[in-house]
Structure 1
Amino acid sequence: MSLSDPDRDLVVEELGREPTPAEAALFENLWSEHCAYRSSRPLLGAFDSEDERVIVGPGDDAAVVALPEYDAGDAADADVENAETYITMGIESHNHPSYVDPFDGAATGVGGIVRDTLSMGAYPIALTDSLYFGEFDREHSRYLFEGVVEGISHYGNCIGVPTVGGSVDFHEDYEGNPLVNVSCVGLVDADRMITAVAQEAGNKLVLVGNSTGRDGLGGASFASEDLSEDAETEDRPAVQVGDPYTEKLLIEANEELIDESLVESARDLGAAGLGGASSELVAKGGLGADIELSEVHEREPNMSALEYLLAESQERMCYEVRPENVERVAEIAEKFDLGCSVIGEVTEGNYTCTFEGETVVDVDAEFLGEGAPMNDLPHEDPTAPKRDLPDADLAEAFQTVVSAPSTASKRWVYRQYDHEVGVRTSVAPGDDAAVMAIRETESEASPGVGLALSAGAAPNWTEAAPYEGARAVALENATNLAAKGAAPLAAVDCLNGGNPEKPDVYGAFKGIVDGLADMCADLDVPVVGGNVSLYNDSPTGPIPPTPTLAMTGTKPGYDAPPLSVEPEGELLLVGDLAAGDDSAARLGGSEFLAQLGGTDRFPELPDEPAAVVSALAAVADRDGTLAVHDISHGGLAVALAEMVTDEAGLDVSLPDADDSIAALFHEQPGRALVQTTEPDAVAEAFEGVAPVTKMGEATDDGRLSIEAGETTILTDADAIADWRAVIERELD
Structure 2
Amino acid sequence: MSMLPAEDHKLIVEKLGREPNTLEQGCFLNLWSEHCSYRSSGVLLRNFKTDGENVLIGPGDDAAVIKFDDEYVLSVAMESHNHPSYVEPYSGAATGVGGIVRDVISMGTRAVAVLAPFYVGPLDNEKNRWLFDNILQGSADYSETIKVAAVRGESYFDDRYSGNPLVNVVCVGLGKKEHVMTSVSKAAGNRVLLFGSKTGKDGLGGASFASNAMGEDEEVPEKSAIPAGDAELERRVIEATIEIIEKGLVESCRDLGAAGMAGATSELADKGNFGARIILDNVPVKYDNMTAYEVMLAETQERMLAEIKPENLQTVLDIMKKHDVPAADVGYLTKEQEYVVEYKGKVEASLPIRFLIQGVPKVELPSKAPAPRSADLVAQKPKSPATADEVKQSVFKMLSSYNLASRKCVWEKYTETTLPSVVGESGGDAGIMKVTDKKGFAMTCGCEPAIGLLDPYVGATITVIENAMNVAVKGASGLCLVDNLNFGNPKKPEQYWVLKQSVLGLSDAAKKLNIPVVGGNVSLYNESDEFDTAILPTPAIGILGIVSFEKPVPSSFFKNDGETIILIGTTKAEMGGSEYYRVSGMETAGTVPSVPADYDKIVAKTAEVCASGNVTSAHDISKGGLGIALAKMISAIGADVDLSKITGAADEVLFAESPARVILTTKEPAKVMDMLKGVPAVEIGKTTKATDLKMKLASSTVILTKAEIDEAASSIEKAMKLGYKQQAY
Query: Bigger shift: 497-506 or 524-533?
Result: 497-506
SS state at 1:299 partner: coil
Deviation at 1:233, TM superposition (A): 7.3
Q: Deviations over 1:71-125 (max 9, x none)?
A: xxxxxxxxxxxx3321111000000000010000010000000010111111101
> 1:148 matched to which residue of 2?
135
Deviation at 1:726, TM superposition (A): 1.6
**Alpha-carbon distance in 1 for matches of 2:577, 2:675:** 30
> 2:725 matched to which residue of 1?
none
1:302-701 alignment runs, 5 A limit: 302-349=289-336, 350-382=338-370, 385=373, 386-393=378-385, 394-418=391-415, 421-439=418-436, 447=438, 449-539=439-529, 540=531, 541-557=533-549, 559-565=552-558, 566-576=560-570, 578-579=571-572, 585-598=573-586, 599-645=589-635, 647-657=636-646, 658-688=648-678, 690-701=679-690
Identity %: 40
Q: Deviations over 1:487-511 (max 9, x none)?
A: 1100110001000111111111111
Deviation at 1:542, TM superposition (A): 0.7
RMSD: 1.5
User: Does the Cα contact within 8 Å between 2:79 and 2:168 map onto a contact in 1?
Assistant: yes
> 1:3 matched to which residue of 2?
4
**Alpha-carbon distance in 1 for matches of 2:418, 2:714:** 26
SS state at 1:625 partner: coil
**Alpha-carbon distance in 2 for matches of 1:161, 1:730:** 28
Deviation at 1:232, TM superposition (A): 11
SS state at 1:721 partner: helix
Paired amino acid for 2:643: L
Deviation at 1:342, TM superposition (A): 0.4
Deviation at 1:383, TM superposition (A): 5.4
User: Does the Cα contact within 8 Å between 2:392 and 2:704 map onto a contact in 1?
Assistant: no
> Cα gap change, 1:273/1:234 in structure 2, threshold over 3 Å: closer, same or farther?
closer
Q: Deviations over 1:408-429 (max 9, x none)?
A: 1111111211465442111243
**Alpha-carbon distance in 1 for matches of 2:416, 2:597:** 37
User: Does the Cα contact within 8 Å between 1:419 and 1:425 map onto a contact in 2?
Assistant: no
Q: Deviations over 1:598-631 (max 9, x none)?
A: 3112111221222111111121123331110000
> Cα gap change, 1:26/1:157 in structure 2, threshold over 3 Å: closer, same or farther?
same
Deviation at 1:711, TM superposition (A): 2.0
Q: Deviations over 1:293-323 (max 9, x none)?
A: 0100111111000011001111010100000
Paired amino acid for 1:549: I
Paired amino acid for 2:557: S
Q: Deviations over 1:113-145 (max 9, x none)?
A: 001011111110110000001122122211111
Deviation at 1:669, TM superposition (A): 2.0
Paired amino acid for 2:513: L
Which consecutive unaligned segments of at least 5 residues does structure 2 have?
A: 386-390, 722-729
SS state at 1:221 partner: helix
> 2:710 matched to which residue of 1?
721
Paired amino acid for 2:420: V
**Alpha-carbon distance in 1 for matches of 2:298, 2:216:** 24
**Alpha-carbon distance in 2 for matches of 1:208, 1:255:** 13
With normalisation by structure 2, the TM-score equals 0.94
User: Does the Cα contact within 8 Å between 1:164 and 1:428 map onto a contact in 2?
Assistant: no
**Alpha-carbon distance in 2 for matches of 1:714, 1:421:** 36
1:212-251 alignment runs, 5 A limit: 212-228=199-215, 234-251=221-238
Deviation at 1:381, TM superposition (A): 2.3
Aligned length: 703
Query: Bigger shift: 679-688 or 467-476?
Result: 679-688
Q: Deviations over 1:427-482 (max 9, x none)?
A: 2430000111112xx6xxxx2x2200011112112112100110000000000000
Q: Deviations over 1:662-718 (max 9, x none)?
A: 111111221100111122222222211x21122211111111111212222221122
Deviating beyond 3 angstroms after TM superposition, the runs of 4 or more aligned structure 1 residues are 229-235, 382-385, 418-422
Q: Deviations over 1:225-262 (max 9, x none)?
A: 00007699744354211000000001111111112111
1:139-178 alignment runs, 5 A limit: 139-178=126-165
With normalisation by structure 1, the TM-score equals 0.94
Paired amino acid for 1:655: S
Paired amino acid for 1:326: L
Is 1:48 matched with 2:49? yes
Deviation at 1:384, TM superposition (A): 5.3
Q: Find 2:94's aligned residue among 89, 107, 115.
A: 107
User: Does the Cα contact within 8 Å between 2:264 and 2:305 map onto a contact in 1?
Assistant: yes
1:119-130 alignment runs, 5 A limit: 119-130=106-117
**Alpha-carbon distance in 2 for matches of 1:462, 1:130:** 16
**Alpha-carbon distance in 2 for matches of 1:130, 1:428:** 18
SS state at 2:488 partner: coil
User: Does the Cα contact within 8 Å between 2:526 and 2:535 map onto a contact in 1?
Assistant: yes
> 2:719 matched to which residue of 1?
730
Q: Deviations over 1:183-215 (max 9, x none)?
A: 101012111111011110010001111111111
SS state at 2:236 partner: helix
